[in-house]
Every structure is written in C-alpha cells, then in structure tokens.
Amino acid sequence: MTGCDRYGDLVAGYGFDALEAAERARFEAHLPGCPRCREAVTEVQRLRPLLDLAGGVEAATPEPPAMLEASVLAAIPHTGTFRPRRRNRGEHPHATSRRSPRRRLVPVLAAAVLIAILAVTVPGPGSPTPAGFRLRLASSGLQPHASAVALVRYRPWGTQVDLSVEHLAPTRGKEIYEAWFVSPHGRMSAGTFTVGASGHVQVTLAAAAHRGGYRMLGITLEPDGLHPGHHGPNVLRTRLPT
C-alpha cells in the first residue's frame, strides 16, 4: 500500500479520489510505469466499498456487560463445579450420561448433604424488592462475625447476584471465596472473589441458574482458587425464595 519512494505519499489520496486536479494528473502520468503504485492504489480502492457497507466511521461497538463472562463460564458444564472424571481407554471423553451409578450419585449426595447442612439455622427467603429479592446470608459459624446481603435478580440468561459482604476473613495465598447456587441435583458456581484486609467487598456475580432451580445460595472458602473442584468449607448461606 506504500507505492514507490517518489510518489508513495499520493497513493492514498488518489485511491480515495482526494487529490487536487494538478496532483492527480501528475500521479496518473506516473502510474503506467510503476507496478508498485498501481498495486498500492488497488489496495486502497478495495477499502472503499467496505467503508460504504459500514456506512460511517462513528458507530461505537457495544461493550458487553461485565457479568456476561461469568454467565458464559457458569453455563459451561463442569465449569467450577465438578471436575470431569478421568477418561478410560476407548470411552467417549465427556459422556457424562455413561457415568456409573455410583459416580452419578456422588455429586447428588454431596449437594444433598450441603443442603442438609445449610438448612439448619439458615435464614428464610428475603423480601421482594422491585428489582429482585434482597437476602441476608448468615454465618455458618466458621467465621462468626461474617455477614452478607445479596440482591438476587432473575435475568433471561440466569441469575445476577449483587453481593455485599462484611467481616469476612481476608483471603491469603491461593484462597478465594466462591458463591454457589445449590439444588438437590448439584451446585453451580456463581463466581469467585477475594477479600482484602477490610473484610468488606461488593461484587456482582452471575450464573445460568434459573428461577426455581436452586434452593440455597452459599459462599465457601476455597483453599486453592486454581483448583475450583476442591470444595472448601461453607462460610455464609441463605435459602432462595421458591
């Protein structure tokens, strides 16, 4: 697109038909003997119909909402919930329906146990607000002073949780806090966050969890954020409105 050394600065102007008459005539006299400039002009001229299709250069590209990444991650099977089991020779790599009955039961039982644990002394469903449900999460006893308020809003793609936590122990090293939607059939990560020395954090989380599909919202402390399949202890929890 640069053309030759002598006339290269005229290529773009000529290609966009923006040269004055005298300059254009000078360049056109040069073109027949210069294949580099002819090729460069062709390349510029190829841009013009594309720009016509765009219709202008001012249109801004819409930015996705910050929570979309979390909802995309949450919608992927196995993401942050259960690790895919090790593949056996000759077996379909992700045929979860072929799990042995015992293997299928493990996550279900784990979720059932979690629900049973959470159900004890867990606060009831919160009050509806015009924007969703405001819920107070209670401490499991592991961090007695910890508390949180969650604004739960159901969206077409799942559920958005605006979480405000207080007095959580700061995360250290690879530790992360992880929010979960829990049902009798399993649990789904709504996202992770870390906490600084203040013990306070406000974060928006999202998951492809739909209204009525999950009974509890819980927060666990995961010892190693790089290995989300390792489930840490529950720190805060609440029931979700049915």
Using CB under 8 A as the binding rule, whether residue 61 contacts other proteins is answered as yes
Does the protein bind other proteins through residue 20 (CB under 8 A)? Answer: yes
Which of 65, 123, 125, 184 contacts other proteins by CB under 8 A? 65
Give the Å distances, CA to CA, from 144 to 126, 138, 168.
21, 9, 9
How far apart are CB 127 and other proteins at their closest, in Å?
25
**DSSP string for residues in 61-116:** PPPPPTTHHHHHHHHSTTTTSSPPPPPPTTS-TT-GGGS-HHHHHHHHHHHHHHHH
12 near other proteins, judged by CB under 8 A: yes
Instruction: Specify the residue, 17 or 29, whose C-beta has the smaller distance to other proteins.
Output: 17
Rule CB under 8 A: choose which of 25, 28, 42, 69 binds other proteins.
Answer: 69
Say whether residue 78 binds other proteins (CB under 8 A).
yes
Site track for other proteins across 93-132, x = CB under 8 A: xx--------------------------------------
Q: Identify residues 153-212 at the interface with other proteins (CB under 8 A).
A: 155-157, 208
CB 37 within 8 A of CB 151: no
CA dist 216 and 208 (Å) reads: 15
The only residue of 32, 33, 56, 101 in contact with other proteins, by rule CB under 8 A: 56
Return all residues near 87 (Cβ < 8 A) that are at least 6 apart: 93
Among 25, 47, 108, 119, binds other proteins (CB under 8 A): 47
In whole angstroms, give the CA distance from residue 189 to residue 195: 18
Number of neighbours of residue 125 by Cβ within 10 angstroms: 13
Q: How far apart are CA 223 and CA 203, in angstroms?
A: 20
Residues that bind other proteins (CB under 8 A): 1-2, 8-13, 15-16, 18-20, 43-44, 46-48, 50-51, 53-65, 68-69, 71-73, 75-80, 83-84, 93-94, 155-157, 208, 228
